[in-house]
Amino acid sequence: MRPIIFFLTLFLFFSPAFGSVFNAETFKLDNGMQVVVIENHRAPVVTHMVWYKTGSIDDPLGKSGTAHVLEHMMFKGTSKVPDGEFSKIIARNGGSENAFTSYDYTAYYQNIARDRLELVMFLESDRMKNLRFSQQQFDPELEVVKEERLMRTENNPSALLSERRNNLLWSEHPYSRPIIGTKKELSSLTLEDVKRFYRAHYAPDNAILVVAGDITAKELKPLAQKYYGKIAPSRTATSKRQFVLPHPVRSKIEMRHPQAQLHSLLRVYVVPSYLSENKEQSHAYAVLDEILGRYHLGKLYKHFIVNKKSARSASAGYSGFSLDRGTFSIALTAKEGIPLADLEKQLDQFLDPSSIRQKDVDKAKKRLVSDLEYLNDNPETAANLIGRFYVLGLTIKDLNNWASNIEKVTLEEVQKAYADMLTSSSVTTYLMPQEAL
Whether residue 182 is found in the same domain as residue 271: no
Average of per-residue pLDDT across 302-316: 97
Alpha-carbon dihedral sign for residues 251, 255, 260, 261? positive
Q: At CB < 8 A and 24+ separation, what contacts does 406-412 make?
A: 406/16, 406/283, 406/286, 406/287, 406/365, 406/368, 406/369, 407/16, 407/365, 407/369, 408/283, 409/283, 409/284, 409/287, 409/361, 409/365, 410/361, 411/356, 411/357, 411/358, 411/361
- 403 part of a folded domain: yes
Whether residue 219 is found in the same domain as residue 287: no
Whether residue 307 is found in the same domain as residue 342: yes
**pLDDT class for 14, splitting at 50, 70, 90?**
very low
Whether residue 156 is found in the same domain as residue 262: no
Whether residue 255 is found in the same domain as residue 221: no
Let me know: does 197 contact 68? Beta carbons within 8 Å.
no
Average of per-residue pLDDT across 310-332: 96
Whether residue 162 is found in the same domain as residue 34: yes
161: pLDDT strictly greater than 90: yes
Domain boundary among 227, 259, 288: 227
Instruction: Kindly report the CATH number assigned to the domain that includes residue 94.
Output: 3.30.830.10
Average of per-residue pLDDT across 126-155: 96
Whether residue 81 is found in the same domain as residue 118: yes
Domain boundary among 167, 194, 227: 227
Let me know: does 245 contact 68? Beta carbons within 8 Å.
no
Q: Active-site residue numbers?
A: 71
Higher pLDDT, 92 or 368: 92
Cβ-count burial 215-250 (b if 16+ within 10 Å, e if not): bebeebbebbbebbbebeebeeeeeeeebebeeeee
Whether residue 285 is found in the same domain as residue 423: yes
- 144 part of a folded domain: yes
- 54 part of a folded domain: yes
**pLDDT class for 403, splitting at 50, 70, 90?**
confident
Average of per-residue pLDDT across 210-235: 96
Q: pLDDT digits over 232-289, tens only?
A: 998 765 556 778 777 889 999 999 999 999 999 999 999 999 999 899 999 999 999 9
Whether residue 268 is found in the same domain as residue 220: no
Neighbours of 362 (CB within 10 A): 12
For the chain, how many structural domains are there in total? Answer: 2
- 5 part of a folded domain: no
- 187 part of a folded domain: yes
Q: What is the pLDDT of residue 4?
A: 35
- 332 part of a folded domain: yes
- 174 part of a folded domain: yes
Domain boundary among 227, 262, 279: 227
Whether residue 27 is found in the same domain as residue 134: yes
- 1 part of a folded domain: no
Whether residue 211 is found in the same domain as residue 299: no
Q: What is the pLDDT of residue 19?
A: 41
Whether residue 262 is found in the same domain as residue 179: no
Neighbours of 261 (CB within 10 A): 12
Range of the domain at 186: 10-227
